Amino acid sequence: MSDNEEMINEEMEQDNGQTLAIVDLCLFIVSNIGMFSDVFTDIPVIGKVLEGAGLFAFIIMIVLRVKYPQNRLGKVLMILMIVELVLAVIAAILFVLSCIACMNMCAGMG
């Protein structure tokens, strides 16, 4: 292969990585909009599609990081998803602790 062909192939690979990162970003945004919006709870099919969008965004992020490790948008999306996951775990722990505290307060009243 000539140097020109190698450069064209490299540019195409970068474009593919960028396209995949943009698709991943769109799925990430759609899943977060669906997660925080009560409008979609009346239509169960849309709710399931939005949940699936979050799962697909996570899977695409993994593929993106493996296949295109130098893609900046892929790195940013990975960091955003990890931060979101950590915040969700912290929120779940706080919710469980607050439920335990409420039950202890109710047990003390009776």
The residue extents of the domains of the chain are: 3-81
Q: Which two tokens stand for residue 17?
A: 């990585």
Residue type, 53: A
Residues in the chain: 110
Tens digits of per-residue pLDDT, 1-20? 566 677 667 777 778 888 88
Question: What is the pTM assigned to this prediction?
Answer: 0.73
Tens digits of per-residue pLDDT, 60-88? 999 999 998 888 988 999 999 999 899 99
* Helix/strand/coil for 46: helix
The neighbour count for residue 42, using CB atoms within 10 Å, is: 8
